[in-house]
Amino acid sequence: MKARYLTNRSASVAVVVCASLSFVILLAIAVFTFREALPAFREIGLPDLFLGTVWRPGIGEFGIVPMIVGSLAVTFGAVIIAVPLGVACAILLAEVAPTRMRQLLRPAVELLVGIPSVVYGLVGLILIVPLIRQIGGTGFSVAAASIVLAAMILPTIITISEDSIKAVPRAYREGSLALGATQWQTVWRVMLPAARSGIIASIVLGVGRAVGETMAMIMVIGNAVLIPTSPLDPARTLTGGIAVEISYATGLHRSALFAIGVVLFVFIILINSVALVALRKGGRAQDVC
């Protein structure tokens, strides 16, 4: 009994230490990023930084609005493509597919998670960019980046949505079928509304992944610091701006890049907070039911 107590106590202490260390590391990253961004906040000013539309560090112009718009445009395009595909695949895996098909599709979805982002970028560069070029423009565009990003966030949406649909009490499905509803009516009118919070959380987490993606976006978006007016226009994301310029940036330019990092940090915190709220509401709704 004493040995078991010591083992449990040691495990509890180890978990607390690891969790505390993770929080300290996160806090240190946040403090460091904000400290490095302070010169930009003081010298450039928040209005010029967050409302300016021109990014030319060589002449002292540090407006990040084009990069914010680029990030939002790419993320919105990816969500428009990935959400219908992801939710449909989740329904297939949770409700429709036979066992053998599930055993084939689930590993395929899990495999998508492990593919490096640079591979997605290469595929987009070789296959998608030339296709977009035939429609118009150079091919390096918001549209190409959205398609690549949609493929990258699909596993997140599929996995969490499938788990949410499976978490719906079995009595819901059986009751609907017993009342004479078809399988599709049961899925559309019963299962999806009951799993709505989890599906929303999967979309929000996918958006968080999309906002933070860097390498694949650099390869296919064109990296032009302009406000895109069409899906065929090139653009630059917030993460792309940091990755492209940090190697040679100095002084105020470097501090402005850290300010972009603060913006990304705030975006990710807000997105994850929305996802947590959705998951908690979904959990309370299922408990009530």
Domain ranges of the chain: 50-288
The alpha-helical segments, DSSP class H, found in 46-191 are 46-51, 65-91, 99-114, 117-123, 129-135, 142-167, 170-178, 183-186
- The whole-number average pLDDT for the span 161-174 is 86
Sign of the CA dihedral running 150, 152, 155, 156: negative
Query: Is 90 exceeded by the pLDDT of residue 166?
Result: no
Q: Is the pLDDT of residue 132 over 80?
A: yes
The whole-number pLDDT of residue 281 equals 63
Q: 114-129: per-residue pLDDT in tens? A: 888 889 999 999 999 9
Give the mean pLDDT of the chain: 86
Range in 16-25, 129-138, 208-217, 280-289 with the lowest mean pLDDT = 280-289
pLDDT surpasses 50 at 243: yes
Highest CATH level, class, for 50-288:
mainly alpha
The Cα angle at residue 160 between residues 156 and 162, in degrees rounded to 5: 120
What the block records as the tokens of 47 is 């209005």
What is the model's pLDDT at position 130? 92
d(CA 102, CA 104): 5
pLDDT given for residue 114 in this prediction:
81
> Between the CA atoms of 181, 199, 81 and 75, what dihedral angle is there, to the nearest 10 degrees?
160
Q: Is 143 helix (H, G, I), strand (E, B) or coil?
A: helix
Give the model's pLDDT for residue 284: 54
Packing angle of the helix pair 196-212, 238-245 (nearest 10 deg)? 30
**Residue 275 above 80 pLDDT?**
no
Burial class of residue 158 (count of CB atoms within 10 Å of its CB; 0-12, 13-18, 19+):
buried
Q: What is the pTM of this model?
A: 0.83
Does 72 score more than 60 pLDDT? yes
Distance in angstroms (rounded) separating the CA atoms of residues 175 and 227: 52
Mean pLDDT to the nearest integer, 27-42: 90
CA dihedral defined by 212, 215, 217, 218, rounded to 10 degrees? 130
CA triplet 168, 172, 180: central angle to 5 degrees?
A: 145
Q: What average pLDDT score do residues 3-20 get?
A: 84
Residue 59: its pLDDT value, please?
85
279 has a pLDDT exceeding 80: no
Reduced to 3 states, what is the DSSP secondary structure of residue 216?
helix
CA 42 to chain CA centroid, Å, is 31
d(CA 86, CA 159): 9
Instruction: Please indicate whether residue 240 or residue 113 has the higher confidence score (pLDDT).
Output: 240
Burial label, 230 (beta-carbon count in 10 A; 0-12, 13-18, 19+): exposed
| In the chain, % of residues over pLDDT 90 | 29
User: pLDDT tens digit string along 189-224?
Assistant: 888 888 888 888 888 888 888 888 888 889 999 888
Express each pLDDT in 102-113 by its tens digit: 888 888 888 887
Secondary structure letter of residue 258 according to DSSP: H
Token pair for residue 110? 């899990």
Q: Where do we find the tokens 């609907």?
A: 176
